[in-house]
Amino acid sequence: MSTPPTAQDHQQQRAATAATTAAAVRQVWSTVDPDRLEASWLARAALVAELIRGGQMAAASTAEPWLVQEIGQGQGVVNPETAVEAAGDLGIPLLYPLIIALNRLGRGFTTAMSILSGAYFLEMVTRSLVADAGRIADMAGMIARPRVVSYVRVVELPACARCIILAGREYTLSEGFLRHPRCDCTLAPRRPGDTWQLASPESLFEQMTPAQQRRAFGEAAVQAIGEGSDIAQVVNARRGMTTATRYRRTVHTTTEGTTRRGLYGSRRAKFEKAAGVRFGTDTKARNRATAVRLMPQEIYRLADGDREHAIRLLKRNGYIV
């Protein structure tokens, strides 16, 4: 049996939401004044933050209806606002396009090329933030449904090589979701007795045109795979995938400890005020982030198999209500 059509539809809807949001944000970036780059971007920061949050809410809001259709009611309803908050603050992601553009200008790049570099980063991070909010909501909703015992990675073409080799893999609910910037893969819930299977990396590779294969894997890798090399081994030779949540690699939370010193300098405070976004610092130590919310997979890991305790933690952390 193939994967439920609802899982594929869910993935495609999420990807479309991320793409639409990224296009809207990039359009705003395209209106910055090259002669007043910093001031004009700061003036648009609040609008961009609003657009991204809107895309994140749209993505996270689809989790509960989809899971009700797929699994049924859970022990609580997914709170999309908490999923959006858990995806992280917008301050640094929205500041970086400006920093990148100014850095390129300082290194002698043309104004057009510098602004284009900022636009590329902004589009990438927007897609990632929207997708992350949706996946966090999905994970919370799955944990709130005791019939779900694991999740399977849904990969739709076109996709990069790193995602293709993970296609159809099954993970426990305590395992973090591996993703890279602009990754639009999603999760499909797995219950005891489910017999459907997702497309394997090999079948996805075979569905691609030669041009798509070269674009995703590279000429040498395509040749190696064609000669019988293991597709995962070929791709894993170029490491780069990271976990979706990182906090000293022991506890999965949504805060990484961002600093006010160093790279961002005086622009950071101005941007925070202009964008209306928070950098998550306390009054005792302005260089240390404090607000920590456990990620759904970390909650499930800490619950150690006690589903009711996991659901209590989801409610305590605001993921379900």
CA distance 167 to 203: 10
Angstrom distances, CA of residue 92 to CA of 34, 147, 171: 21, 38, 31
The residue count of the chain comes to 321
- Residue 107: burial class (beta carbons within 10 Å; 0-12, 13-18, 19+): exposed
Enter the DSSP assignment of 238: S
Residue 30: how many other CB atoms lie within 10 Å: 10
The confidence score (pLDDT) of residue 263 equals 35
The label of the residue with tokens 């399977």 reads: 152
The set of residues, in sequence order, having a beta carbon less than 8 Å from that of 20 and lying 6+ positions away, is 55
Instruction: Name residues of the chain where pLDDT drops below 70.
Output: 1-3, 237-293
Enter the DSSP assignment of 244: S
- Residue 308: burial class (beta carbons within 10 Å; 0-12, 13-18, 19+): exposed
The confidence score (pLDDT) of residue 276 equals 63
> Is the distance from CB of 129 to CB of 52 less than 8 angstroms?
yes
DSSP letter string, 113-177: HHHHHHHHHHHHHHHHHHHHHHHHHHHHHHHT-TT--EEEEE--SS--HHHHTTTT-EEETTSPP
The confidence score (pLDDT) of residue 272 equals 62
> Is the distance from CB of 301 to CB of 58 less than 8 angstroms?
no
At 107-139, the pLDDT tens digits run: 999 999 999 999 999 999 999 999 999 999 999
CA distance 115 to 109: 10
3-state class (DSSP) for residue 273:
helix
The confidence score (pLDDT) of residue 274 equals 64
The confidence score (pLDDT) of residue 180 equals 82
The confidence score (pLDDT) of residue 3 equals 64
At 64-107, the pLDDT tens digits run: 999 999 999 999 999 999 999 999 889 888 999 999 999 999 99
- Edge to edge, what strands does the sheet with 150-154 contain? 170-172, 150-154, 186-190
3-state class (DSSP) for residue 293:
coil
The confidence score (pLDDT) of residue 264 equals 37
The set of residues, in sequence order, having a beta carbon less than 8 Å from that of 41 and lying 6+ positions away, is 29, 32, 97, 98
The confidence score (pLDDT) of residue 287 equals 42
The set of residues, in sequence order, having a beta carbon less than 8 Å from that of 268 and lying 6+ positions away, is 91, 95, 260, 279
Cis peptide before 146 (omega within 30 of 0): no
The confidence score (pLDDT) of residue 297 equals 87
For strand 150-154 and strand 186-190, is the pairing parallel, antiparallel, or unpaired? antiparallel
The confidence score (pLDDT) of residue 238 equals 57
The confidence score (pLDDT) of residue 119 equals 95
DSSP letter string, 177-223: PEE-TT---EEEEE-TT---BPPPHHHHHHHS-HHHHHHHH-HHHHH
Boundaries of every domain in the chain: 5-146+241-316
Backbone phi, then psi, for 300, in 5-degree steps? -65, -35
